[in-house]
């Protein structure tokens, strides 16, 4: 009499092999996910930067106070704010504006805190600089000077 099917030991061996393979593959997929999110963040921030600059030219050299203003002004510069893939709440990208720099020109930064989800930059408003920390993995665009 021939028995069909697998023994309990054979099933345990197969499950162990699958668990080991999953343990090896899952961390490598996380790296690919972060790379994809970085590319998305760079593209989104580039789109937002173009919308902010268009707003500036159309509103007597005034930058929007918030990114939401890009959707609510008379001219819609963007239909929907993209979500920051690195923000755990999937909120919109960060946007900060400072109204004074040398020459009294306003400057701004649009940013994602990146894979470590920590803001690693700061303003030097007296010199019109955005200062990046050494460990920064942030994705950002600014019309200020980056140091």
Reference 117, options 90, 99, 142, 146; nearest CA is 90
pLDDT at 102: 53
Contact 127, 118 (CB under 8 A): no
pLDDT at 74: 85
The structural domains of the chain, ordered by start, are 9-146 (3.30.700)
C-alpha separations of 7 from 1, 10, 14, 17 in Å = 16, 5, 11, 16
Within 10 A of 14 (CB to CB), how many other CB atoms are there?
A: 11
Contact 87, 114 (CB under 8 A): no
Q: Whole-prediction pTM value?
A: 0.76
pLDDT at 99: 61
Q: What is the pLDDT along the chain (147 residues), one digit of tens a residue?
A: 667 777 888 889 999 999 998 888 887 777 788 889 999 999 999 999 999 999 999 998 888 988 899 998 888 899 999 999 988 776 778 888 776 545 667 888 898 988 888 888 888 877 778 888 888 888 888 888 888
Q: In what order do the strands lie in the sheet with 94-98?
A: 94-98, 107-112, 139-142
Residue with tokens 């918030």: 66
Residue with tokens 């268009």: 54
Contacts of 132 (CB under 8 A, 6+ apart): 120, 121, 138, 146, 147
What does the DSSP 8-state code read for residue 142? E
H or E element in which residue 98 lies = strand 94-98
């Amino acid at each position: 009499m021939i028995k069909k099917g697998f023994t309990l030991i054979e099933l345990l061996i197969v499950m162990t092999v699958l668990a080991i393979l999953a343990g090896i593959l899952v961390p490598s997929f996380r790296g690919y996910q972060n790379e994809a999110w970085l590319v998305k963040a760079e593209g989104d921030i580039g789109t937002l930067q173009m919308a902010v600059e268009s707003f500036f030219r159309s509103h007597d050299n005034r930058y929007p106070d918030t990114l939401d203003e890009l959707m609510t002004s008379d001219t819609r510069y963007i239909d929907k704010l993209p979500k920051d893939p690195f923000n755990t709440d999937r909120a919109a990208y960060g946007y900060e504006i400072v109204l004074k720099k040398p020459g009294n020109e306003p400057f701004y930064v649009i940013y994602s805190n990146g894979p470590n989800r920590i803001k690693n930059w700061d303003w030097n408003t007296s010199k019109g600089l955005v200062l990046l920390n050494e460990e920064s993995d942030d994705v950002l665009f600014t019309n200020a000077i980056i140091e």
